[in-house]
Amino acid sequence: MVNNPPEGPPPAIHAHDLTVRRGTGRAPRTVLDRIAFDVPRGRITGLLGPSGCGKSTLMRTVVGTQAHVTGTLDVLGRPAGHPELRSRVGYVTQAPSVYDDLTVRQNLDYFAAVLDPGRAAADRRRAAVERAIADVDLTSRTTALAGNLSGGQRSRVSLAVALLGTPELLVLDEPTVGLDPVLRRDLWNLFHEITAGRGVTILVSSHVMDEAERCHDLLLMREGRILAQDTPEALRTRTRSATVEEGFLRLVDEADGRVDARADAQTGTLETETQR
Ligand SMILES: Nc1ncnc2c1ncn2[C@@H]1O[C@H](COP(=O)(O)OP(=O)(O)OP(=O)(O)O)[C@@H](O)[C@H]1O
């Protein structure tokens, strides 16, 4: 691998010269454009940027479900999409992938059976389901139909499914969309517990800049490129900004050569929580 510091463990994700094209026909669009970044292990890395900048595409590429990929993308020391990564990487898509007509426990039993099939694995599956339900704090709702749960609870079921295989890396695509501030805080606390307690690496996307402050590290994206990779504090200091959002806008202006036009950039580049 290239660009790794000599000391410390290798990053959970290493990308170099990574390009993704999407769309059919003669002229597919370049959605990720020769990007390079590292995601350190055992930390929460936030992937932030405006709607349409390529966050979901990058996540799909990391979990190996995206076509038309060129360049280098190593995940947990293997090329993205390697079969060995199936049980080592958990992925939660934007829409909660649960069956509404099954209960919480039935959903988890089903996904556990897909992940670890066979009679011989029954005890292991039962233990994994119990642990995942406890992890997301849904022990009191195991017999509820998923279709009758609140948005936050459904997100938790999706997260529990992703936790079933005890992944080393969790890829979470905008898990807090549509949740109220209390549920968002609870979910972020859960992410921190998962990372601190088990050393799991989390790559989580959001287009709400407030959430940047909850991450250990940030990848700021814009129009298919990485604008910055930093900790929230380093980003604020480097850009002499009070918030990550302000720092992001300053970087956008610098990239556009519009350092004096920040007021323009504030008009809708990003969504803040108060606007949602
Ligand atoms: N199936 C597709 N075919 C062609 N282009 C696509 C397809 N899906 C997404 N795109 C384009 O790729 C770009 C990146 O989309 P992507 O969904 O990765 O962005 P995003 O940052 O996750 O957006 P959001 O925050 O709204 O989910 C967008 O310009 C989008 O129009």
Q: What is the pLDDT of residue 146?
A: 95
Mean pLDDT, the chain, whole residue set: 88
Ligand 1 pocket check for 52: Cβ under 6 Å: yes
CA of 34 to the centre of ligand 1 (A): 17
| Summary count for the chain: helices (H), strands (E) | 8, 10
Ligand 1 pocket check for 51: Cβ under 6 Å: yes
Q: Could you give the CA distance from residue 136 to residue 232 in angstroms, rounded to a whole number?
A: 26
Ligand 1 pocket check for 220: Cβ under 6 Å: no
Going from the C-alpha of 167 to that of each of 104, 162, 171, the distances in angstroms are 20, 8, 10
Which runs of consecutive H residues, i.e. helices, occur in the chain? 55-63, 104-115, 122-135, 151-163, 181-198, 232-239, 244-256, 262-265
Range 41-66+80-88+168-276 classified under CATH 3.40.50.300: yes
Give tens-digit pLDDT for 181-228: 888 888 899 899 999 988 999 999 988 888 999 999 999 999 999 999
**Residues 236, 242: contact at Cβ < 8 Å?**
yes
Tell me the ipTM for this assembly: 0.96
Portion of the chain with pLDDT greater than 70, in percent: 91
Domain boundaries, the chain: 41-66+80-88+168-276, 93-166
Average pLDDT of span 77-97 = 90
Position with higher pLDDT, 59 vs 268: 59
Average pLDDT of span 13-27 = 90
* Lowest pLDDT segment from 1-15, 137-151, 153-167, 215-229: 1-15
* CB count in 10 Å sphere of residue 108: 26
Range from 31-40, 86-95, 96-105 that averages highest in pLDDT: 31-40
* 244, amino acid identity: V
Residue 145: is its pLDDT beyond 50?
yes
Band of pLDDT at residue 264, cut at 50, 70 and 90: very low
**Residues 236, 275: contact at Cβ < 8 Å?**
no
Ligand 1 pocket check for 61: Cβ under 6 Å: no
CA of 224 to the centre of ligand 1 (A): 10
Atom 30 of ligand 1, residue of closest alpha carbon: 52
Atom 29 of ligand 1, residue of closest alpha carbon: 52
Q: What is the pLDDT of residue 24?
A: 79
Ligand 1 pocket check for 103: Cβ under 6 Å: no
CA of 53 to the centre of ligand 1 (A): 7
Portion of the chain with pLDDT greater than 90, in percent: 66
Give tens-digit pLDDT for 226-263: 999 999 999 999 999 999 999 999 998 888 876 654 44
Q: What is the pLDDT of residue 237?
A: 96
Stated length of the chain: 276
